[in-house]
Amino acid sequence: MARDLYKWIATLLVLLLVVVLLRGQLSFVITATFFGIFAMSWSFFTGFSGYLNLGHVIFCGLAGYTSAILNYHLGWPLWLCLVLGVVVGTLGGWLYLNPIHKRITGLSFEMVSFLTIVALSNLVASSIASPVTGGNIGLSPLDGIYSSVGLAAGLAVLLCAMGFLFTWFLRSNSGKVIEFAKEDKTIVRHAGADPHQYTGRLLLWSGLAASIGGVLYVHYSGAAVVSNTFALAFMIRIVVMAIIGGRFDLRGSILGAYLVVFLGMELMPHMDAYAQYLIIYGIGFVIYFLVPRGLISLLEVPWRYLSQSVRLTRRVADEKSNV
């Protein structure tokens, strides 16, 4: 575990370096970190459980809207809204998705989770819900979380802390059971364990991280609207980020989030949103087929070579000192 901790500290240092170097474009750094949280939490469940959860934004949306509703309509203090938003988002999303992933087999889970966000985005904008949710316009203004170096650094710390806890979970006995279940659920069942119980835990932690990201993102945006909560494009963007970076690797998802947000930043002055989407989806499509483990897998070869060289140098030095 110590090695994992060092790796996450190294990741944090890199992210803090990005914050320092791109102080002039803090909004992009902060947005990339938010998407890093979303993409990593999505990968944590999808990459390791074997279920393709296309309803991950249910957590972000429920959390964000709960916090926004309490803040906008009742005027409750920001910290309380954030806490309650996280609780409602995590539990609401988990209570919906967990039984579905247990009861519905195969691709139907993926399809249901995917279509749920279509249904929710329509429901939020409907006349029935609009007195509470603000309909198409959404809820704005909200008590905001403002762009600053402190926020960017704090989010980087939060992201890496989540990453470390996720790694710790995956290294635990529960994580090992999940790994076995991903290969073959019947083996786990024969061993007397219910694989869904373990993947359910994975979903809960993944949902908690997404809910924390969701409430913070809504207040950072200053508004709760469909486009930053339940939107189909929002969900697919998260998925594409994880695919580009590497959906089976937590750091890969973070890499993907940063790459896509910064690619968007570069493309923005030259083309409209749909052309950007087309390019990003196109890259996601190509990487999905050509590099299924994402761009981070391309770094493994030089990394392995580098670590072998370091080990070799150390061994030679040890041998010399022994002589």
Partner 1 sequence: MDSVLYVLIYGVIFASLYGMMTVGFNLICGLGGFFDIALPAYLMVAAFAIVKLMPHIGHWSVLVVMIGMGALCLVHYLVFIRPQRENPYRVFFATILLALGVESIMALVFTAGYTFKSTPMISSNVELLGVPVRGELILGGAIGWVALFALLYVTTHTNIGRAIVAIPQSARGSDVIGLDVVKIQMLVYCVGGMLLGLGAYFYGGYIGTSVHMWVYPMVIMFTIATVGGLGSVKGMMYATLLIGTIEVATVTYIDPRIRAFVLLGTALAFLIYRPKGISGLRIG
289 near partner 1, rule: CB under 8 A: yes
Question: Quick one: 9 or 286, whose CB is closer to partner 1?
Answer: 286
Question: Quick one: 76 or 114, whose CB is closer to partner 1?
Answer: 114
Question: Quick one: 168 or 288, whose CB is closer to partner 1?
Answer: 288
CB of 58 to partner 1, least distance (A): 12
**Backbone dihedral region for residue 249 (phi beyond 0: left; psi -120 to 50: alpha; all else: beta):** beta
Question: Quick one: 45 or 164, whose CB is closer to partner 1?
Answer: 45
State phi, psi for 314 to the nearest 5 degrees: -65, -40
Taking CA 238 as the corner, what is the angle to CA 237 and CA 239, rounded to the nearest 5 degrees? 90
Question: Quick one: 237 or 251, whose CB is closer to partner 1?
Answer: 237
Mask: binding to partner 1, 39-68, rule CB under 8 A, as x and -?
A: -------------x-x--------------
DSSP notation for 91-108: HHHHHHHHHHHHHS-THH
The SS3 call for residue 139 is strand
Contact pick of 6, 146, 285, 303 for partner 1 (by CB under 8 A): 285
State phi, psi for 194 to the nearest 5 degrees: -95, 110
- Check residue 51 and report its DSSP letter: -
Contact pick of 2, 3, 24, 106 for partner 1 (by CB under 8 A): 106
Q: What count of other Cβ atoms lies within 10 Å of the Cβ of residue 148?
A: 11
CB distance 50 to 183 below 8 Å: no
CB of 187 to partner 1, least distance (A): 21
Which residues contribute to the site for partner 1 (CB under 8 A)?
52, 54, 100, 103-112, 114-116, 118-120, 122-123, 125-128, 232-233, 236, 240, 272, 274-275, 277-278, 281-282, 284-285, 288-289
